[in-house]
Amino acid sequence: MAATLDTQIRESQAQVAEAQSKISELTTRIETARTKLKTGDDIAIDIENATLDDVHTHTDIMNANIAELIMGLDDITAAFSKDFDEMRTKTGWESLVGIFSKHKSESLRQERMRTASIDDKLQDLIAKSDVIVKLLQGQLDMLNEQKARVETNLSETLDEREMTVGELEQLRAEIAGMDPEIIKLENKIAVEQDAAARTKLETELAEMNARYNALVQEEQVKLARSQTLERYIEKGKTWVDSLQNQAATQMVLINKLQTDTKQRVVLYDALSKSLKTAQQQDVAHRINEIGVETDKEAQAAMASIGTATNQKMADMMEAHEEHMVFARDVLEAKARADERFARRFAEIVEKHDKNLYGA
């Protein structure tokens, strides 16, 4: 499982790097489109939907794999209790030795429990969680940075479109105002009998029509620019929304991992205390069975164990309230983190729980 997790982490690191490249490329396209806007070039190809869909597809796969990674860590954590139980149980060799020497069998088991590095798995899980958290945090920082870049461009574009729409409205008002004037001139020309006066009116009408046509042409240019700016704003807003949604996903994953790590420490502490208590009890029972001929040694050992146990109980009682409050807070936080995680990755969780991979 550890090798598989390590492989998955490396794959996720590669996927995150590729995702960051795609995201950065799309943000750059939007910035390039912004530059082209100033020169009046077509921007459609720079912010096409296909590119955005490609980014979404890749990030969805990346996040799904990281979600599976996190659930893999959960599976290992769930096996902690079983591992601790196995440590308390005699091995086949210890049971075999016990047939000939109960004392030797107990001695072997106690030595195994004493020398066992029972926190290796916990430390390995925490280390792997930290690697994934750093990976996700780097992705989150990058998403926020890209979002800030796009929002800056978007803000400038919104101001520019507002100005363009204002100019367009002014043009339309001026064009609408010229219509009655042109009709009035045309009516004057229609009834004018004097050739010189008629020529003057026709010249005035020609100039007015030229002005009218220029305004209509400028209106079309402004309208096209407004539509282009609107299209850019629409794509920019879509990309900002996408970046924000991706960031929210990263935050859900980070929150679950960090909460899981706290919960693992609490679980390990509880199991470790349980194991040590069981070991002390075994020692106490064994000493109690030694016999009358070693009564003094037994009493001394029991007194030592009793003193240590009493001290441990006192320490535990003093720390009990604080520990229980902390443990309860951690469990409540984990429940919330798990709920958010399950809601966002419902399909992945179902596949994992029902082993439906490839279905």
Dist. CA 290–CA 294, nearest whole Å: 7
Residue 280: per-residue pLDDT:
58
34-52: burial string, b at 16+ Cβ within 10 Å, e else:
bebbeeeeebeebbeeebb
Secondary structure (3-state) at 356: coil
Residue 216: per-residue pLDDT:
92
Residue 190 buriedness (CB in 10 A; 0-12 / 13-18 / 19+): exposed
Backbone angles phi, psi at 87, to 5 degrees: -70, -35
How confident is the model over 300-352, as pLDDT tens digits?
A: 544 444 454 445 444 444 444 454 455 567 667 777 877 877 777 777 666 66
Dist. CA 249–CA 255, nearest whole Å: 10
Domain ranges of the chain: 2-354
Helices 195-288, 80-88: crossing angle, 10 deg rounding: 10
Q: What angle is formed at CA 22 by the lines to CA 20 and CA 25, rounded to 5 degrees?
A: 105
How confident is the model over 63-110, as pLDDT tens digits?
A: 888 888 888 787 777 776 666 666 667 777 877 777 888 777 777 777
